[in-house]
Amino acid sequence: PGLSYAWIFNNSTLDLQEDGRRFVSQETGNLYLAKVEPWDVGNYTCVVTNVEAQQSVGGPPTPLTLRTDGVMGEYEPKIEVHFPETTYAEKGSSVRLECFALGK
């Protein structure tokens, strides 16, 4: 509670609304990219902010490179589902459930 996550791409804050292919989970901080393009290549840095303490810290840059051989190696398709046992919602409120599939 009280944490928010953002990502820096090549020293600029990543604009998640730019093309709808990117998503940052505010639960885990994970960055998801759909349909990686050549312009996605670069360095990604996660920034975690403690809203209550008004402090932020960034991790080390993680480079993203494209494979040119068309081989995904050991990255076979994988589906992970992590749902809480119970999801509570107030009447009239909105609920968002997320599902992700990874692979090629």
The model's pLDDT over 64-91, given as tens digits with 9 standing for 90+, comes to 888 776 665 555 555 566 666 777 778 8
Local confidence band at 60 (pLDDT 50, 70, 90 cut-offs): confident
Q: Confidence class of residue 10 from pLDDT cuts 50, 70 and 90? A: very high
Provide the domain count of the chain: 1
Q: What's 84's domain CATH number? A: 2.60.40.10
As a whole number, the mean pLDDT across the chain is: 77
Domain that holds residue 56: 3-102
Task: Please say whether the beta carbons of 75 and 67 come within 8 A.
Answer: no
